[in-house]
Amino acid sequence: MIVTTQKPLDEVLDFITPYTDILIAGCDGCTQPPRGLREAKTLGQLLELAGKLKNQGFNFRVTTVAKQCDNYLAASILKPQMDGVEAVLSLACGIGVQTLAGVFPEVPIFPAQNTHFMGAEEREAGILEERCAGCGDCLLAVTGGICPVARCSKGLLSGACGGSKEGKCELSPDRDCAWCLIYERLKKQGKLALLKESRPPRDYQLSGWRVTT
Amino acid sequence: MSEQVIHEVVAVRQNADYCSSCSVCSTLCPYEALSKDAETGKITLDIAKCQVCGLCYANCPASVISVLDYDLDSLVAYLERAKQEYASDTLVIMCRGSAPDIKGVEKLFGISEFIPLLVPCVGRVPDELYLRALLMGITKIDVLACDEDYCRFERGSAVTHRKITALNIILDQLGYGRDIITLKEHSLKVQVDANLCIACGNCVFYCPYDAAELKSPGGISFDLAACRGCGLCVAMCPALALELENWERERISRLIKRLSAEMKPPKVLVFRCQWASFPALDGEPSPHVRFIDLPCASRVDRFHVLEALQQGISGVMIAACSEDDCKQERASGRAQHSMAVLGERLDQIGLKERVHFCSVSPRYPGQMDSELEQFTHKIAVLGKGG
């Protein structure tokens, strides 16, 4: 999933202060929890309460889109709702915000979220961690399903550095050393031999900036 | 109030001097709060384990157990008042856990007017109340218990079932006819609006009873036999696609609006788990405080807390059970977390102090009183509005 967090409310308030009629657009897509109708309504409530304290009235309309990053979907759902809308507050990731900005070039589209990375949630702990760096050259087949590009602080491709300590990374002791995890996983699978193969440096061009469907 | 002072008043007492150690209470107690000492043979009450279901009170043959709330005298006094107020001779005794709204009750029993009596568990109603009701001129008693596997007090419904069978036999022998008391079992469960569901699977994670299943393709489905109606999935659903019967979002919103209009500033609204603190049977509530009783603190919706503040309510208190006392699995802990998340957001706009989450238990009624007193005082000091 795409991992996002709510922007500080005063930052959001600063964006919308010049406007009155604002559409809050949720996105049911990739985040956890999805920033759909509930988050959109809650954000509206919070901003209304905050506005009241500053004697500013907002006129919020609330909606949600299945996937804001799909310009076709975003246009079909939002266009009929844009009448009189001065600004849009998007609960989507940075991709959704940019898609809306492309679909409605005349209207200011503001992000209500900060977008962090592609990750997964440890649900019980409520912690979200990066899992994929979008490198364009997936190595998971040979690393026991654990990505060193995203999960090793240094993005090393051929085994742990010297800084791994009791399974933790030297850069942040609460972060697992990805290469320790890979070692343990491959050991479990009887595939430690894979670690002996050295890997050429990563081809950064593969990450790319454009692909065709 | 110090914790010691709060703990001085307890909701259940056992008068050991008159106890015949018959073991009826210790056999019935779902929480092992009443137990028989292996050496002395005496029954003792460990109030710290008690969940105040009242089964022991309603069934002690020697009447040595007393309860503070919903005891026979206050139930009778309520009936006397209610009989005048409702001008009906049909009484419906309902467990709060499974009672639908008035229309739902009318439909269930096929009646049109009735005297409602809502109790925390029908299992705590002593036999004598049924007889006193009949003496008062009530001609029909309908009892609405929770489905047995839905009963928050584990045995409350089963005990009531047996009690009513026995009472009906006696009443038939006395010439009152058969089935003067009817019993129905009911429960309130989750409802899905498939049109709103976005198949995110959040409910699958949150449901403590594995009642939710997300299939791909196929979407979400609930095993209603497993659902225990805590409402956690409803409060967490990002798409607002779930509802809990009788505690629908719209209905709670209307209630907030009505209660806010009734109150005088500074207004305090309490969302109360109905097993964390029992509503009073009598007495005028403070003009500054109103309660919304929910099946579990986990049904408290951040949406409704904010709505209350938007409606001009100055403070919102959430009274939950402690995690140990929670009748649902870990649901009160989830509720606390959800309110903490809301608290962080409210902090950003200077309203954090206006929402207060606390854990209380009916075993020490002073806990709720003390929390409410402190919170209303704080809100009064903070002043009206935001």
Interface of B with A in 169-188 (CB under 8 A): none
B91 shares its domain with B170: yes
For residues B185-200, average pLDDT:
96
Phi/psi class of residue A132: alpha, beta or left (left: φ > 0; alpha: ψ in -120 to 50)? beta
Collect all residues of chain A within an 8 Å Cβ-Cβ radius of residue B349.
9-10, 46, 49-50, 53
Mind listing the pLDDT tens digit for each residue in A144-177?
999 999 999 999 998 889 999 999 999 999 999 9
Euclidean distance between CA atoms A69 and A92, whole angstroms: 8
Q: How far apart are CA A41 and CA B384, in angstroms?
A: 24
The count of C-alpha atoms lying within 13 angstroms of the C-alpha of B10, restricted to the half-sphere facing its C-beta, is 17
Phi/psi region, residue B299 (left: phi>0; alpha: psi -120 to 50; beta: rest), is alpha
- pLDDT higher than threshold 90 for residue B307: yes
From the number of C-beta atoms within 10 Å of its C-beta (0-12, 13-18, 19+), residue B83 rates as: middle
Query: Does B287 lie in the same domain as B257?
Result: yes
B206 and B235 co-located in one domain: yes
The answer to whether B205 faces chain A, any CB pair under 8 Å, is yes
A-chain residues near B302 (CB < 8 A): 42
Do B171 and B207 fall within a single domain? no
- Closest partner CB to B198 (pick from A36, A48, A49): A36
- Give pLDDT, residue B386: 44
Q: How far apart are CA A8 and CA B235, in angstroms?
A: 23
Domain count for chain B, please give it: 4
pLDDT for position B6? 82
**Does residue B215 share a domain with residue B277?**
no
Question: A201: distance to nearest CA of chain B, Å?
Answer: 38
Residue B220's domain comprises: 190-244
Alpha-carbon distances, residue B342 vs A14, B210, B303, B345 (angstroms): 21, 26, 10, 5
Question: Given B163, B186, B209, which residue is the final one in a domain?
Answer: B186
- Please tell me if residue B381 touches chain A, with a CB cutoff of 8 Å: no
- Chain A contact for B386, CB < 8 A? yes
The per-residue pLDDT for B373 is 96
Calculate the average pLDDT of chain A.
96
* Per-residue pLDDT at B283: 80
Which helix (H) or strand (E) segment holds residue A62: the answer is: strand A59-65
Same domain, B21 and B94: no
B256 vs A contacts (CB less than 8 Å): none
Domain boundary among B160, B186, B212: B186
CA A143 – CA A151 distance, rounded (Å):
12
Q: Are residues B126 and B202 in the same domain?
A: no
Residues of chain A in Cβ contact (below 8 Å) with chain B: 6, 8-10, 28, 33-39, 41-42, 45-46, 48-50, 52-53, 64, 66, 123, 126
The pLDDT value given to residue B1: 65
CA angle B306, B310, B313 (to 5 degrees): 90
All residues of chain A having their beta carbon less than 8 Å from the beta carbon of residue B306 are 42, 45-46, 49
Q: What is the pTM of this model?
A: 0.94
B172 shares a domain with B95: yes
Q: Which of A6, A8, A38 shows the shortest C-beta gap to B239?
A: A38
Q: Please list every residue in chain B whose beta carbon sits closer than 8 Å to the beta carbon of residue A48.
A: 310
**What ipTM was predicted for this assembly?**
0.93
Domains of chain A: 2-116 (3.40.50.2300), 133-204 (no CATH)
CATH number of the domain bearing residue B59 = 3.30.70.20
Instruction: Give the pLDDT confidence score for residue B8 in this predicted structure.
Output: 84
Q: Are residues B255 and B375 in the same domain?
A: yes
- Name the 3-class secondary structure at B269: strand
